[in-house]
Amino acid sequence: MQAVDSGAVVGMKPEFEQNDQGMSTGFTLARWEGAADPAVTYFSHMAPFDPTNLMAAYGESMFAFAVSRNTGRVFRAPLTSESYTIECYEPDGTLYQTIERSYTPVPKTQEEMDEERSIVEQRMLESGAPAEMVNWEPKPNRDAISGLSIDSQDRLWVRRGWIDEPTFDVFDTSTGELLMVETVAYDADAARYWQVSIDDGGILAFSANPPDYPKLYMLEQQ
């Protein structure tokens, strides 16, 4: 979640529904203004819950998002290999533009898929998931987009999901114009699992799968 104006927050919330047909699960992206129910819902998607195939249950509803502290605008990108798409919303939920770029799916190597499966299943076990639910089948292609951030100049940083080196397309949030492409000058293998956060304070990164011990990286834009 992220705080915005007047004490409101925008966040991603896991959802579960049980009815006569069974259980459904998914994620909602919404704005809360002090009440339990959201004041604005930007996106919500539910799918039948299958504990033996979590990718099928969650795959279509997974996304990255970012929020502008200055304007309250919300940006959502589906985590998919099928398209490079960012939905841009006004605080009240109005979709004011969609940013799209061409993207040709890039297959994952077998090594990448095996490593992803191992990492996810290990974390599921460590978080207390029942053994019968620990069954993660990676998608065969890399996602077009793997993360979104907003910087101090209210620019949207979109991380390319098909490149190991942390590489970002930087857009004007008002016009959708591509302003520049930035790549972090660091060893690609070491940065493969970097999670990068960009906001008013600068740029930070850490590895979600460090080879030795956790480190926090402070980055500077050249």
List domains and CATH numbers for the chain.
2-219 (2.120.10)
Q: Which residue in this structure is represented by tokens 């940013």?
A: 99
pLDDT at 55: 63
* Class of residue 64 by CB neighbours under 10 A (exposed 0-12, middle 13-18, buried 19+): buried
Residue with tokens 């919404």: 30
The type of residue at 58 is Y
Using CA atoms, how far residue 137 sits from 117, 126, 129, 152, in Å, is 7, 18, 16, 38
Span 158-175, pLDDT tens digits: 999 998 888 999 999 999
Helix ranges restricted to H, the chain = 54-58, 110-126
Residue 165 in contact with residue 158, Cβ under 8 Å? no
| Sign of the alpha-carbon torsion through 82, 88, 89, 95 | negative
As a whole number of angstroms, the distance between CA 156 and CA 221 comes to: 15
Which H/E stretch holds residue 183?
strand 178-183
Q: Round to the nearest angstrom and report the end-to-end CA distance of the chain.
A: 29
Tokens of 43: 């996106």
Per residue in 47-66, pLDDT (tens digit) is 887 766 666 666 667 899 99
| 93 half-sphere exposure, CB direction, 13 A CA radius | 11
- Which residues in the chain come in under a pLDDT of 70? 51-60, 222
pLDDT at position 169? 97
Per-residue pLDDT, 52? 66
pLDDT of residue 15: 87
Q: What is the pLDDT of residue 30?
A: 97
